[in-house]
Structure 1
Amino acid sequence: MKFIKLISWFVLPLSLSVLANDASDNAASRSNSVITQQQGDSLVQALRNDYNDTSQDCNGSPAFLCSGITFRGNEPGNYHVWNPSPNAINSGGVSFSYLRKDSKYSKLAYGYDSGYIMYQIFGAPSDKIDLDYLCFFPIDAATNTRAQNGCGTYPGVSGSQSCDEQGIYTANAWKTHYSNGNGSHTHQCSFNLRENAGSDTTQNFAEGIKSMATIANESFGTQNELRLAVWPQNIGDILPVQAFFYTADSGSHGRDEAQIYQKDFYGETNIAIPVIKMTLPDNKNQDAQFTFSINDQAI
């Protein structure tokens, strides 16, 4: 199906002229910041709403288009954090995680302390490009060496091809296949999310989320994996970057990393993206939390 972008009521970032005028309102808490308290508060409220929205679809389209939070953990390196990494370029896909009240977990991939959040396609400002969603794995799947942009066969592992290719379309069928592979992450199959998929991508994503619940004890401790197609380098001004984040348990180290991304992005694009703190749950009865502090802003 073809995804049609809707017009969002929530648009970030604000124009720089507005930010410059509003920054003076926050002089008492942080002088010279181009990020405003209002901007940060609006962002946090939007993230909370997205996290709590467990819709199974978006008016018939896949739920990731209008609910949940798509983010990528990372660390500062020798490339702009919002550019596809060398590994992503080689594999043809970029790995993200999807976070929602019904798909939560306690840590980031590789123990990362920071990263960035992408707008949902239906909630992004009109001047941002739509990214191509490829597939969803209910649990981390070691995708850098898989075929088909990271969505297909893992080398040497029989039965690791996509769920579509194996006739697997429900959470129960996915769980059976996963168990038959002795719970191997490399044996699991991915749910197809491509716009040209021959199967129902709306159902595929909904069943992928439900699959996490079938291995709840394991999935809470290990993040899921959402694959997006690579995008061109150095197009930050039209990328749908919504926020930079650091994890609550990372302290000043994670905040410093998020501030590096924020300053680099602002320097390259002249767009002010807030830094927020993300607190992942310690147990399955807790929920993720998102908070903004003007004192966390580096611009």
Structure 2
Amino acid sequence: MKTLILWVMLVLAGATVSQQALSLERLRSGVQIAAELTQRYNDIRDDCGSPSMPSFLCTGVMLRSTIPGDGYFTWNPSPYSRTSGGVAFSFLRKDAKFSGLVYGQNSGFIFYPVLTRPADTFQVEVLCAYPSDGATNNRDQAGCGAHPYALDRSRRCQTIGVTTAEQWIANRQEYAWNLCGFDVSDDMNEMATSGFKETIRAHNLGNFFAGTFDYIELVVATWPQHDNPTPVPLEAFFYTNDGLARAQRDQMDYFNQSGRGVPIIKLELPQNPSADAVFSYLMEDQRVLLGL
């Protein structure tokens, strides 16, 4: 412990007292956040204490991979999402693994679960869930409606009588674009919980893991733009592989707009079905918090 404290003091040499205090606080909370992400990743319960509370409200890791764009910050919905009404996320958990992010992207952000978000942040609503990528950018109803390549059998799963993982797999085997999404919105109550449970089961029954689009996709209702990100329930920025520079850019943007620090987490996705994701907080990754 003495060695760690000395190392931190040396890294922070030349910084102001306030910068040192911020960095030491973030070292503690960054490590804690990595531990909490690991704990939620390993938490595979079916609900959050009530049959009407789907497990994504308190378990797993809800992440969005991004490419910083001109004219808007990473934590804001993209121009497309502002029009469509939905924002695409991936859901990662020990029983919902995948090996790569959408379009090979390598950085983004992680939202707090609804039930553990800070009190000064807004609540997001998850609208629907797909066992693999749902091609949601080609759908209406915020990404939860029918796909134009299969207008009937790609509609809301509950509407077409698909309520189990086995039925979802059978529906897709009839035609590759029969990708229905489970409605997991708030007003579905117990059916939202069962729908999300079957989403995870179908993900595994379909052996979705190492393909280009083999991740569980969640569609979140679009939230208002916030140039000051303080109200956004953003827990951490993350990167995989060579995405650190982009994560650092996002971290700098966040700090410049809010005056607050949010940690960068290194995410190592499992590369085989028996491996697990690893979440790490590395002091040298933190551009803002090291005062660089």
Q: Is the 8 A contact 1:192 1:199 kept in 2?
A: no
SS at match of 2:239: strand
- Matched ranges for 1:184-195 at <5 A: 184=176, 186-195=177-186
Give the one of 145, 163, 167 matched to 1:169.
163
Q: Is the 8 A contact 2:133 2:216 kept in 1?
A: yes
Q: Does 1:203 align with 2:194?
A: yes
- Determine the structure 2 residue equivalent to 1:75: 67
- In structure 2, the CA distance between the partners of 1:44 and 1:224, relative to structure 1 (3 Å rule), is same
Q: Which amino acid aligns with 1:293?
A: L
- In structure 2, the CA distance between the partners of 1:176 and 1:89, relative to structure 1 (3 Å rule), is same
How far did residue 27 of structure 1 move?
Answer: 3.1
How far did residue 219 of structure 1 move?
Answer: 3.6
- Determine the structure 2 residue equivalent to 1:121: 114
- Hey, what's the Cα distance between the residues in 1 that align with 2:12 and 2:158? 52
- Hey, what's the Cα distance between the residues in 2 that align with 1:202 and 1:241? 24
RMSD: 1.8
Deviations, residues 77-133 of structure 1 (Å, cap 9, x unaligned): 111000000111121100000000000000000100100000001111111111011
Identity across the alignment (%): 36
- Determine the structure 2 residue equivalent to 1:53: 43
- Runs (5+) with no aligned partner, structure 1: 1-22
- Hey, what's the Cα distance between the residues in 1 that align with 2:6 and 2:162? 56
- In structure 2, the CA distance between the partners of 1:141 and 1:277, relative to structure 1 (3 Å rule), is same
- Determine the structure 1 residue equivalent to 2:277: 288
- Hey, what's the Cα distance between the residues in 2 that align with 1:271 and 1:176? 48
Aligned residues: 269
- Runs (5+) with no aligned partner, structure 2: none
Q: Which amino acid aligns with 1:178?
A: R
Q: Which amino acid aligns with 1:27?
A: M
Give the one of 132, 137, 144 matched to 1:139.
132
Q: Is the 8 A contact 1:26 1:37 kept in 2?
A: no
Give the one of 154, 163, 181 matched to 1:160.
154
How far did residue 198 of structure 1 move?
Answer: 7.4
SS at match of 2:187: coil
Q: Which amino acid aligns with 2:160?
A: Q
TM-score calculated relative to the size of structure 1: 0.86
Q: Is the 8 A contact 1:138 1:219 kept in 2?
A: no
Q: Which amino acid aligns with 2:200?
A: I
Q: Is the 8 A contact 2:99 2:209 kept in 1?
A: no
- Hey, what's the Cα distance between the residues in 2 that align with 1:287 and 1:164? 32
- Determine the structure 1 residue equivalent to 2:95: 102
- Determine the structure 1 residue equivalent to 2:286: 297
- Determine the structure 2 residue equivalent to 1:10: none
SS at match of 1:200: helix
How far did residue 25 of structure 1 move?
Answer: 8.7
- Matched ranges for 1:264-275 at <5 A: 264-275=253-264
Give the one of 158, 171, 174 matched to 1:180.
174
Q: Which moved more, 1:71-80 or 1:192-201?
A: 192-201
Give the one of 54, 78, 82 matched to 1:89.
82
Q: Which amino acid aligns with 1:285?
A: S
Q: Does 1:230 align with 2:242?
A: no
TM-score calculated relative to the size of structure 2: 0.88
Q: Is the 8 A contact 2:109 2:235 kept in 1?
A: yes
- In structure 2, the CA distance between the partners of 1:199 and 1:148, relative to structure 1 (3 Å rule), is farther
- Hey, what's the Cα distance between the residues in 2 that align with 1:198 and 1:108? 30
- Hey, what's the Cα distance between the residues in 2 that align with 1:80 and 1:212? 31
- Hey, what's the Cα distance between the residues in 2 that align with 1:25 and 1:90? 48
- In structure 2, the CA distance between the partners of 1:198 and 1:70, relative to structure 1 (3 Å rule), is closer
Deviations, residues 139-197 of structure 1 (Å, cap 9, x unaligned): 0111012011101101242311110210111111111111111xx2x421001111123
